[in-house]
Amino acid sequence: MERVPFDRLEAEFKRILLNAGLTEPKADRTAALFAENTRDGVYSHGLNRFPGFVAGVQSGKVDPNVEPTLVRAFGALEQWDGHRGIGLLNAEFAMGRAIELARENALGGVGLRNTNHWMRPGAFGLQAADAGYIGICWTNTTVLMPPWGSAQKRIGNNPMVVCIPRKDGPVLLDMAMSQYSNGKLEVMQHRGQSLLLPGGYDDDGALTTDPGAILESRRALPIGYWKGSGLALVLDILASVISDGDATHEIGTRPHETAVSQVYIAIDVSQLGEEADQKIDAIVTDFLGAAPLDAGDNVRFPGEGMLAIRRDSLTNGIPVDPDLWQQLLEM
């Protein structure tokens, strides 16, 4: 693995995005998000996905220079249309609106329809936490997974995020409803690694730890079997109803994933109690106090591993696949 400084990676992303027709401010923010995703170890939605994103802009799948517009407003809740613009920027806008609504109402929500892939879901949870708010968001996706009791893919993996601000680093739960996200399966396959636990079925209907076999069969396992299947279903209904946008079965009729529906919720913890910060910290401290199964190891809260990767990336440079890095320099 080669190591590249954060600023260098961000600058290369920005150069290419400007060439692809993005305005300066849009290229700036999009490059920052792709670089931050890579810095935090989410390679599947950082450097690895960047060439595909640019191809989407060039093919017209993503309209790079539209702005979201307001559909309906209900005080603490708003519906916005993303006009199939850049998913990352629509997402950043929508969480920003949710934060503004939460500033006024303690709780703020935005339904965003007709948007594109937001790459790393957790980025928008972190956006809220960095502003001192709890951030919750989820998206529907195209058809990616069979419901429990079927081998026919029919539901999305509908990633959701809950991010909680905390002095010593946020809690960041960022999870797809499949046991392993498609991005994770792709990275593991690329590296030739097996999954720790079965993540789906092969073409013969047997549970497997081979990421390639799961990508091929398209039978990813929902978390908690029937529970994740049900959770994916209701997240799709909620995203589609709250945004008045398309559901997975409609998205799945298109040749590529677009016009997805998303929900953003921000909560101003400081309004809800005088010692909310200490409350959060005490819960995490107690969680970390659980005796580890293996001596010398420790229990980790969601997002803790990401913070360690971020520190390493900023100190030693971001690890990049040399082939992908070379490809980027030639774009």
In order of 16, 129, 149, 329, the CA distances from 19 in angstroms are 5, 32, 47, 13
Residue 307 in the binding site for a second copy (CB under 8 A): no
- Considering only residues 262 to 291 of the shown chain, the ones binding a second copy according to CB under 8 A are 267, 269, 271-273, 276, 279-280, 282-284, 286-287, 289-291
Contact status: 204 vs a second copy (CB under 8 A):
no
Q: Is 57 in the site for a second copy (CB under 8 A)?
A: no
Site for a second copy in 32-51 (CB under 8 A): none
Q: Residues 62, 98, 119, 171: which binds a second copy (CB under 8 A)? A: 171
Q: How far is the CB of 248 from a second copy (least distance, A)?
A: 8
Active site residue 256: no
Cα 78 from Cα 140, distance rounded (Å) = 18
Helix (H, G, I), strand (E, B), or coil: what is residue 142? coil
Stretch 208-227 residues interacting with a second copy (CB under 8 A): 223-227
Q: What is the DSSP letter of 48?
A: G
89 vs 175, beta carbon nearer a second copy:
175
- Binding a second copy by CB under 8 A: which of 72, 254, 256, 311? 72
Residues 174-193, interacting with a second copy (CB under 8 A): 175, 179
Cα distances (angstroms) measured from residue 150 to each of 44, 62, 143, 315: 28, 33, 14, 47
Does 295 bind a second copy (CB under 8 A)? Our answer is no
Strand order in the sheet with 171-175: 69-73, 77-81, 107-115, 260-267, 134-139, 160-164, 171-175
Q: Is 2 helix (H, G, I), strand (E, B) or coil?
A: strand
Q: Phi and psi dihedrals of 146, rounded to 5?
A: -80, 145
Kindly determine how many residues on this chain lie close enough to bind a second copy according to the rule CB under 8 A: 73
**41, 85, 146, 159: residue in contact with a second copy (rule CB under 8 A):** 146
Among 55, 206, 234, 314, binds a second copy (CB under 8 A): 234
Instruction: Please tell me which residue in 45, 83, 190, 256 is annotated as part of the active site.
Output: 45
Confirm or reject binding of residue 106 to a second copy (CB under 8 A).
yes
Q: Which amino acid is located at 224 in the chain? A: G
Is 47 within 8 Å of 324 (Cβ atoms)?
yes
